[in-house]
Structure 1
């Protein structure tokens, strides 16, 4: 009986530890995604908007919206947005301009 109780306590303690470790791992993953996406961005002073959106492992990507300013002189420091897809397997980031997110499309 005591052995069973100790086993349950050990299991409960390890579950709590695993959860804390998991939170830390997710925070590290978020930092990796954000840093890689900002490095791939063409925007000045790019920043992540929100947290990464996680797709199923069968897809293998995280996505995040970036916001910054266009560096080209003709853009006159206009605010810009990019969508970044982070390939989890290759640990690489790919960005595309996505200012159209602010426009509502009607069917």
Structure 2
């Protein structure tokens, strides 16, 4: 029992060492938003909520964006996109998501 205390303390400190700092998460969020805006097809694009982080085994962060369609035939209509951000490669992928958060449906 006496020898288990150092092992327990080492385990606790090792777990804390792997936790990300607030600054690291702020940098992640800035990269996420920048990458998502860069591939978005919307104008005046902004986040429509908070990022959703998937498990590290998948390595993705999702973010819903909202803005306005720039095409003349869309007549400045509001739109939404879902951005999936690969944390390792820092690549962003966009899909139309106008019906993702449709308030008219129960």
- TM score, norm. by length of structure 1: 0.76
Across the aligned residues of Structure 1 and Structure 2, the Cα RMSD in angstroms comes to 2.4
Counterpart in the other structure of 1:51: 50
Shift, 1:88, TM fit: 1.0
Counterpart in the other structure of 1:30: 29
Structure showing the higher helix proportion among its residues: 1
Counterpart in the other structure of 1:41: 40
Deviating beyond 2 angstroms after TM superposition, the runs of 4 or more aligned structure 1 residues are none
Shift, 1:51, TM fit: 2.1
Q: Distance in 2 between matches of 1:77 and 1:55?
A: 33
Q: Distance in 2 between matches of 1:81 and 1:63?
A: 13
Counterpart in the other structure of 1:3: none
3-state SS, counterpart of residue 33 of structure 1: helix
3-state SS, counterpart of residue 48 of structure 2: strand
Shift, 1:50, TM fit: 2.1
1:95-106 to 2 correspondences below 5 Å: 95-101=94-100, 102=102, 104=105
Shift, 1:76, TM fit: 0.2
1:1-107 to 2 correspondences below 5 Å: 22-101=21-100, 102=102, 104=105
Given that residues 38 and 48 in structure 1 are in contact (C-alpha distance below 8 angstroms), is that contact kept between their aligned partners in structure 2?
no
- TM score, norm. by length of structure 2: 0.76
